[in-house]
């Protein structure tokens, strides 16, 4: 019998994921065009784009644990697309804020970033995502070398923490703590899994290097 081919290697898998990642933006554009964003459409658009940025970040971070726990190494082929879409939604979130809230006035934007810490956190998260997006392609990996590329892309963990702080700080101003608690627990689980995996690997390396005592 021929070995069963993984579902994740199906030719339609990546196009389907692309369509699913694009769907929230299509729905947001449709809602905006049909005046379905509520009493404050600008705020709704900014927040929903931010929500999808955070969701994309969580999905990107979930790929490695799912790959290991489910024994599905082919899941790794979707991580790049999820990461790029996360950055794209982050860019749209920033653009919507700069345009709809600040009127694309650089001085006003700079003043607002300096004045409001949660805006500063969001901008810092976007700035850290920028080099990750720019170096997400094969040529960048070859240019930087595998080890340097991996070291650079570990910044995604910092992005996740700062992005979560931005989200919590923003929602706390509206006395909304339910969503931050849910996302915070999910992020803690994803990062906690990595910390546990790292320490287990370190202990394994130390055990291998430790000299054996012969009695």
**Cβ-contact 81, 18 below 8 angstroms:** yes
Q: What is the pLDDT of residue 197?
A: 85
| Residue-wise pLDDT tens digits, 126-149 | 999 999 999 998 899 899 898 899
pLDDT, average across residues 68-88: 93
Residue 213 has pLDDT above 60, yes or no: no
Comparing C-alpha atoms, which of 65, 61, 91 is closest to residue 79?
A: 61
The per-residue pLDDT for 107 is 95
Report pLDDT digits (tens) over 40-68: 999 999 999 999 999 999 999 999 999 99
Spans of all domains in the chain: 12-198
State what percent of residues in the chain have pLDDT above 70: 93
Output the pTM of the full model: 0.90
Q: What pLDDT is attached to residue 1?
A: 42
Model confidence band, residue 210 (pLDDT cutoffs 50, 70, 90):
low
């Amino acid at each position: 019998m021929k070995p069963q081919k993984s579902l994740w290697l199906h030719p339609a898998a990546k196009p389907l994921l692309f369509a699913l990642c694009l769907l929230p933006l299509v729905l947001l554009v449709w809602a905006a065009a049909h005046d379905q964003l509520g009493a404050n459409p600008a705020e709704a658009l900014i927040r929903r784009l931010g929500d999808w940025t955070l969701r994309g970040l969580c999905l990107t971070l979930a790929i490695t644990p799912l790959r290991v726990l489910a024994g599905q190494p082919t899941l790794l082929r979707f991580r790049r697309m999820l990461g790029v879409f996360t950055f794209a939604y982050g860019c749209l979130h920033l653009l919507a804020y700069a345009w709809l809230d600040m009127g694309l006035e650089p001085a006003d934007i700079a003043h607002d970033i300096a004045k409001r810490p949660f805006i500063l956190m969001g901008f810092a998260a976007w700035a850290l995502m920028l080099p990750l997006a720019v170096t997400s392609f094969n040529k960048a990996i070859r240019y930087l070398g595998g080890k340097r590329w991996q070291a650079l892309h570990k910044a995604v963990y910092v992005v996740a923490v700062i992005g979560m702080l931005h989200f919590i700080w923003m929602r706390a101003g509206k006395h909304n703590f339910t969503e931050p608690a849910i996302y915070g627990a999910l992020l803690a689980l994803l990062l906690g899994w990595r910390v546990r995996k790292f320490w287990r690997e370190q202990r394994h390396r130390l055990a291998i290097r430790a000299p054996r005592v012969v009695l």
